[in-house]
Structure 1
Amino acid sequence: MTATGASVLVEALARHGVDLVFGIPGTHNVPIYQELAARGVRLITPRHEQGAGYAADGYARSTGRPGVVLTTTGPGAVNAATALAQAYSNSIPMLLISPGLPTDHPRQGRGYLHESKDQSAALHALCAWSHRVGSTREIPAAVARAFGSFAEGRPRPVHIEIPYDLLDAPAEVRVMEPYRIVSRPADPGALDAAARLLAGARRPGFVLGGGVQRPPGQPVGALAVTLAERLGARIVTTVNGKGAVPESHPLVLGAMLHLAGARDWLAGCDVVLAVGTELGSAELWVDDFALGGRLIRVDVDPGQMYGDHVADVPVVADAELALRGLLDRVTPRAAPPAPAPDLAGELRDLTRRWEGTLEALGRALPPDAVVVGDNSMVVYHGALLGLPFDPPARFLFPSGFGTLGYALPAAIGAKLAAPGSPTVVLTGDGALQFCLQDLATAVELELTLPIVVSDNGGFGEIRDEMSRRPMAPVAVELPGPDLLALAAAYGAGGCRADTPEELFKALVAALNSPLPTLIVVAER
């Protein structure tokens, strides 16, 4: 076909199933916007490119499909960099597309609009790869490479840069059809070795991470529970594994990996099966954790087998295929499970401050709710531990890289992905103000979206850390704006909830409102 670079790009995206794009138009990407509109691709316009990236992240976690972000050159692309790095940390498939400076741009710079030293190299440092195409003919191949990388192994974000002089320039191009990716099965010998080790274990334990998470209806978590039942193994999940298996199940401890009691229990297991997790310090909250038993690792990323916790039995495969293979090899045994660790006291100490908020959330949320949390104390000390989830409920959280401002835009992406699923934002007053402007996006889209804000007057976690050093708190007390007045200015609803009963009633009302509702809860 004879087509411009912009039309070739959009044709390639459409053939890969893209029907929704998050981004902000700018001088250099207008030709792409013209083609997207012509192809009927829905355009969502957050108020900042970082929010566009978080929204694409939430969309990807909720659908299993890549989230697509479209920015302009220079500051637009760099604004999305934090979201790109967060997606890398959590293995989220995200495609960031930006124009670049023209093909004949001199390396030493000439003062072009949005000129940067090396935009592609800057973003390459934060994602799986960044590729600057050299011709219009290369565009469909770059798109195919991106979608192939999402399906062939560990999904991580990528960036494609297209010199903006190619976007309006016609060329003879062939746009290929997507190629089919077949998941690599696990090595039968590795599965045999893992099954033998599990069959002989006296105190087996499972750690399930984000690699077990799938969109609703896919059975990976259920397979893990069935295997645990056959072995009498207890299950602990990482933050990204929360909600993959029912936390009401008697063998499931929940997302407790960072509790000292849970770590002691895991260290005492004679065989640990870790599925789709790095077992990293960001999940464990300590740097010196060591397992006492043998380790079986299941992961699509071969590099995970030789990380901080080296696998005794490495199983390089998709989690579903590996778990099915283990179920084919492991028979039920009569021995009862080892006693569960006593985590009640530690759990109570951590969650006490948010007890009323969690109780109200637990009563108000439907069984299929999606909770999108920020890196706020009410989330990682509160909801992560004290708000149990059973599928199909979902918990979205930016662990690892640990950004702030994630929850509101990511919830917008999640709600667009599953309009029928009740979706709730849970954040703090400090985190909310990183992306508060996306209240305008939620209002514009007429989203039913309760936004629960735990107001502790600033950056509470850092304030506590400073007090423990000890030192006087510095730069952590934030004289708060009138959040309810801001919500009204954006056209959203808003109220204050001073008691758990008021919060419960506000949540019920917000879940039935045609617009987003900001609910402020004082937690000082």
Structure 2
Amino acid sequence: MAAHSSTVGEVLVSMLEQAGVDTVFGIPGVHTIELYRGLAASSIRHITPRHEQGAGFMVDGYARVTGRPGVCFVITGPGLTNTLTAMAQARADSIPMLVISGVNATPTLGKGRGHLHELPDQAGLASTVALWSHTLTDPGQLGAVLREAFAIMTSGRPGPVHIEIPTDVMKLPAPEQAFEMPAAPSLRPSPVDLATAARMCAEARKPAILIGGGAVRLDGAVRRFAEMLDAPVISTTNARGIMSGHPLDVPASPSLACVREMLAASDLVLALGTELGPTDCDMYENGGFCLPANLIRVDIDEDQLARGAKPALAIKAGLAAFIEDMLEDSGTWTPHRSGDGATRAGSLRDLARTEIGEAYCGHINLLQDIWRALPEATLVGDSTQLVYAGNMYVEAPRETAWFNSATGFGTLGYAAPAATGAALGQAGRPVVALLGDGGFQFTLAELGSARDCDADVAFLVWNNSGYQEIETSMVDSSITPIGVTPSAPDFSMVASAYGLASRRVGSRDEIIAALKEMPRPCLIEYIDSGSA
């Protein structure tokens, strides 16, 4: 009997194992079953969502908490199109996501003959949101293609990549290949840029730092840099928690007037790893965000440096390398300072909490109470009242303990699957999904996925009977509200039908009690009477 020759699908799974992939999210279909041939015998855990959009969001949540690329398998055509929304959210927030899809058999591609799941140009469609999309036609190139995918995700600005494999190619024999993860290059700043940055820092008397998602996993370095510069550190949504508990921490949105005033009054602002996007810096779209002329921007993406606020100094470099090089030569830019950075930061924290108003402060107090009850919890949000408030101001206990889809691409239906992915990526840490009654219905069925894998997730539904934020916007614009009150199911009954513990609560104290007492996964529904 001839020895078994491994197929493309089997070798792919082996290479993913060698790359350190421990979880794949996906829904098997007739166009991807060959990818599953070697999966059952592998060490890779497979998670089945209820919808491919859910698969993509699970990958997103998993990647955010682990710092490693998440992987999903999706079928040709509708499987990929269902995943595109999640890929777009990952692109907006620079989340590494590897989407491996099927595509129709090689001889049929581009023929338009109506084959099952056929698209005119599937790779072209994926490339509108993916950093890179590739069709594998040669089994011998599998290793090279996979290395290129990981290289793109782990060097430069991360994001989603796509590999499609024709159904006939999946079955072909493939040479066994050892797979080595590509080394991520360290993009260092030029000596000239470093010298200029050092001079600008040395001359500044009231500097400030604005950090974005590019600073995640650099909390120690950012803290040391901020201390040496004696600068308040303002964090955008995806950077919350990096400076947790530090006297220089200002966990407030640049969309707030008081934050903008402080930045404008600073004689130097360093924007580190942030695109300075409107959903972080101009949430209310009033055009009031303005940075001083003495601005340093550091970003790994050259194109991003050319967008938005024009800096006095644009530095293309990895943020870790920039901070490391600056700290190594800190004697040249740390003259005696007034030491008022912590005082400035403390005053700004007080001003921010005053500005956001009583209702939002109430929401923020609840968020802080959740962390007091569950100190290790990660809070994953959709577009809902608690999340809007927290994006304006929240003191997250650590980096990646707060993230959501209410900024950037701004999709609904994110929190339930992303929370499940986060729980799977960080065993031992509970996750609280913050959901509105409207947005939750986009991916309500993912309760079943959480039950299947016993995800350590509490689904907290903030039920205000519709799309309250949109209704308010309509009223403010003198538009008669319409389409903003979709009926909701009895969420507790739906949760029970999936086998989840559930509880309906009427007060914030009851929310905290339920979070402490209920076994997870569970669902807690809070009815917002409008008085909070």
Q: TM-score range by the shorter chain?
A: over 0.9
CA contact 2:18–2:180 (8 Å) conserved in 1: yes
The residue number in structure 2 matching 1:501 is 509
CA contact 1:269–1:293 (8 Å) conserved in 2: no
Aligned match of 1:390 in 379, 394, 397? 397
Aligned match of 2:363 in 333, 336, 354? 354
Aligned equivalents of 1:107 and 1:328: distance in 2? 55
Deviation string, structure 1 residues 459-478 (Cα, Å, up to 9, x no partner): 11111110100111110112
Aligned equivalents of 2:520 and 2:528: distance in 1? 25
Aligned equivalents of 2:250 and 2:63: distance in 1? 27
CA contact 2:64–2:422 (8 Å) conserved in 1: yes
What SS does structure 1 have at the residue aligned with 2:201? helix
Aligned match of 2:111 in 79, 102, 108? 108
CA contact 1:268–1:293 (8 Å) conserved in 2: no
The residue number in structure 1 matching 2:387 is 379
The residue number in structure 2 matching 1:51 is 54
- 1:421 maps to amino acid: R
Aligned equivalents of 2:109 and 2:236: distance in 1? 47
Aligned match of 1:365 in 355, 374, 388? 374
Aligned match of 2:499 in 480, 491, 513? 491
More deviation in 296-305 or 463-472?
296-305
CA contact 2:293–2:311 (8 Å) conserved in 1: no
More deviation in 404-413 or 105-114?
105-114
The residue number in structure 1 matching 2:352 is 343
* Structure 1 residues 363 and 446: CA distance shift in structure 2, 3 A: same
The residue number in structure 2 matching 1:237 is 235
Deviation at 1:267, TM superposition (A): 1.9
Matched, 1:326 2:331: no
Deviation string, structure 1 residues 426-483 (Cα, Å, up to 9, x no partner): 1211111111111001111122311111111111111111010011111011222111
| TM-score relative to the length of structure 2 | 0.92
Aligned equivalents of 2:93 and 2:141: distance in 1? 29
CA contact 1:356–1:499 (8 Å) conserved in 2: no
Deviation at 1:171, TM superposition (A): 4.4
- 2:120 maps to amino acid: K
Deviation at 1:173, TM superposition (A): 6.1
Q: Please list, as runs of the form range in 1=range in 2, the aligned pairs for 1:431-510 lying within 5 A after superposition.
A: 431-510=439-518
Aligned equivalents of 2:132 and 2:359: distance in 1? 39
Q: Which ranges of structure 2 fall in alignment gaps of 5 or more residues?
A: none
CA contact 1:447–1:516 (8 Å) conserved in 2: no
Instruction: Compute the RMSD of aligned alpha carbons.
Output: 1.9
Q: Please list, as runs of the form range in 1=range in 2, the aligned pairs for 1:63-78 lying within 5 A after superposition.
A: 63-78=66-81
Matched, 1:62 2:65: yes
Aligned equivalents of 2:424 and 2:482: distance in 1? 39
Deviation at 1:109, TM superposition (A): 1.1
Deviation at 1:175, TM superposition (A): 5.0
The residue number in structure 2 matching 1:140 is 143
Deviation at 1:332, TM superposition (A): 5.6
* Structure 1 residues 523 and 65: CA distance shift in structure 2, 3 A: farther
Q: Which ranges of structure 1 fall in alignment gaps of 5 or more residues?
A: 215-219
- 2:468 maps to amino acid: G
What SS does structure 2 have at the residue aligned with 1:240? helix
CA contact 1:91–1:154 (8 Å) conserved in 2: yes
Identity in percent? 38
The residue number in structure 2 matching 1:403 is 411
CA contact 1:374–1:427 (8 Å) conserved in 2: yes
Aligned equivalents of 1:76 and 1:146: distance in 2? 20
Aligned equivalents of 2:175 and 2:462: distance in 1? 56
Deviation at 1:289, TM superposition (A): 2.8
The residue number in structure 1 matching 2:270 is 273
Aligned equivalents of 2:97 and 2:527: distance in 1? 33
The residue number in structure 1 matching 2:250 is 253
Deviation at 1:176, TM superposition (A): 4.3
More deviation in 392-401 or 188-197?
392-401
What SS does structure 1 have at the residue aligned with 2:470? helix
> For this pair of structures, how many residues does the alignment match?
514
Aligned equivalents of 1:41 and 1:334: distance in 2? 53
CA contact 1:206–1:273 (8 Å) conserved in 2: yes
CA contact 1:452–1:521 (8 Å) conserved in 2: no
The residue number in structure 1 matching 2:528 is 522
* Structure 1 residues 324 and 111: CA distance shift in structure 2, 3 A: same
Q: Please list, as runs of the form range in 1=range in 2, the aligned pairs for 1:74-85 lying within 5 A after superposition.
A: 74-85=77-88
| TM-score relative to the length of structure 1 | 0.94
What SS does structure 2 have at the residue aligned with 1:347? helix
- 2:149 maps to amino acid: A
The residue number in structure 2 matching 1:308 is 308
